[in-house]
């Protein structure tokens, strides 16, 4: 898993006379530098989705909001053919996820018909948070997951286009409008 170092917006350089001068801007990392372990044992590289919007959602099988899996599947079916990637990231950070990947996959697929990609169980908050979630928390201060089913919409360019907290249903008009915008931008 790639852990990018925080990039400064510019690098300080010194001329031959020792005077500081401003160097060329350094690009900031985007979501495309991150990858997740897949629930089936493979890898999910966000770079593979460059140029496509990605909805990244931390999920939990035993959460009161678990019915949102059906809404995420609806988004996947509706917008996937147009380029949207829905990525479920099961997490036990709030103590509501099943114990192993096989049980999580069986539950999500069997109960909700989930066909969108699922990561392996992943930490999403705190010091041990996955690098994507640590990056997202830095990019959007105050918008880190506070509970399961927190939604980050990553734009085609790899930046965070929108954040939606747990109570916002996946099929909420605000999420659909943000997805539509992300699909139009840069197309």
The half-sphere exposure of 120 on its side-chain side, counting CA atoms within 13 A, is 13
**Strands 160-164 and 54-59, how do they pair?**
unpaired
d(CA 77, CA 150): 20
From the number of C-beta atoms within 10 Å of its C-beta (0-12, 13-18, 19+), residue 80 rates as middle
Catalytic residue (one of 46, 60, 63, 179)? 63
- Name all contacts of 72-77 with Cβ < 8 Å and 24+ positions apart: 72/114, 72/116, 72/170, 73/112, 73/113, 73/114, 73/115, 73/116, 74/170, 74/171, 75/170, 75/171, 75/175, 75/176, 75/179, 76/115, 76/116
Task: Confirm whether 63 is a catalytic residue.
Answer: yes
Which stretches within 87-167 are classed as H helix?
Answer: 101-112, 131-139
The catalytic residue positions are 63
């Amino acid at each position: 898993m790639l852990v990018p170092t925080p990039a400064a917006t510019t690098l300080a350089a010194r001329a031959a006379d020792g005077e500081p001068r401003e160097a060329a801007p350094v690009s900031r990392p985007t979501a495309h530098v991150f990858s997740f372990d897949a629930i089936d044992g493979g890898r999910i590289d966000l770079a593979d989705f460059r140029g496509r919007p990605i909805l990244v959602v931390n999920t939990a099988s035993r959460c009161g909001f678990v019915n949102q899996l059906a809404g995420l599947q609806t988004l996947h079916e509706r917008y996937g053919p147009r380029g949207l990637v829905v990525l479920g990231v099961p997490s036990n950070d709030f103590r509501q996820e099943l114990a192993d990947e096989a049980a999580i996959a069986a539950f999500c697929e069997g109960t909700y018909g989930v066909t969108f990609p699922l990561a392996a169980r992943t930490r999403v908050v705190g010091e041990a948070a996955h690098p994507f979630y640590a990056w997202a928390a830095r990019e959007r201060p105050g918008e880190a997951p506070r509970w399961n089913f927190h939604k980050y919409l990553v734009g085609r360019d790899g930046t965070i286009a929108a954040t939606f907290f747990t109570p916002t249903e996946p099929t909420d008009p605000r999420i659909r409008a943000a997805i539509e915008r992300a699909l139009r931008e840069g197309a």
